[in-house]
Amino acid sequence: MDYIKIRFSSDFDHPEPKFEKTLEDIFRNVNPVFTMPERIWKPQMDIYETLTDIYIIAEIAGVKKEELDIEINRKAVKIQGSRNEFLRSEKGTYRLAEVQYGRFERTLYLPSPVDTENVQAFCQEGFLKIRLGKIHRRKTHKIQITGD
């Protein structure tokens, strides 16, 4: 059985500012020559939770499991990897090219703390699925008073 690499981290770098991404998008639309040499794409992701778990589903069709890297701490998950471009035909003329390739990195901040020892991840039919067990807190805690 193959495994997906998961690393545990205490802190993540701050994600790239939206301003830089917006400039990249503007220049790509004006002229593709202005885009960065290494394309960066953002796969679509869902986060949902139950009483006991948080689930992340990432649409990563075409990304090999060996190209994925997942880092987790109690508050966030960083998913990164890359998708190689398919060979394009030299004979044809593209009329539409929307499929994105290259490196990606997403940091998702979680709605509640998770137990980093209670995590599962697997790939199936072009989706990465991650289950993170929540840390359960007691609603009340009695404190004993000492002294006079």
Domain of residue 109, CATH code: 2.60.40.790
Closest by Cα among 3, 53, 49, 42 to 20: 42
Q: What is the pLDDT of residues 54-112, one digit of tens each?
A: 999 999 999 999 999 999 998 999 999 999 887 777 788 878 888 888 999 999 999 99
pLDDT at site 23? 58
* Residue 95 domain flag: no
Would you say residue 16 lies in a domain?
no
Q: What is the DSSP letter of 40?
A: B
Q: Is residue 57 part of a domain?
A: yes
**Chain centroid to CA 42:** 9
Has this prediction a pTM greater than 0.85? no
The verdict on residue 64 lying in a domain is: yes
pLDDT of 10-48, one tens digit each?
Answer: 665 554 555 555 655 666 555 554 555 556 789 999 999
Tokens of 3: 């495994």
Tokens at 64, concatenated: 């090999």
Any domain includes 148: no
Per the CB < 8 A criterion, the answer to whether 94 and 86 are in contact is no
Q: Are 103 and 38 in contact (CB under 8 A)?
A: yes
Residue 7: inside a domain, yes or no?
A: no
Amino acid identity of residue 52, one-letter, is: T
Say if 56 falls within a structural domain.
yes
Q: How far apart are the first and last CA of the chain?
A: 62
Residue 28 lies in a domain: no
**Residue 14 corresponds to which tokens in the numbers above?**
């701050």
pLDDT tens by residue, 108-141: 999 999 999 999 999 999 999 999 999 977 656 6
Domain housing 79:
39-85+100-136
Q: What residue type is 30 in one-letter code?
A: V
- As for how many domains the chain has, the answer is 1
* Run of H or E including 106: strand 102-109
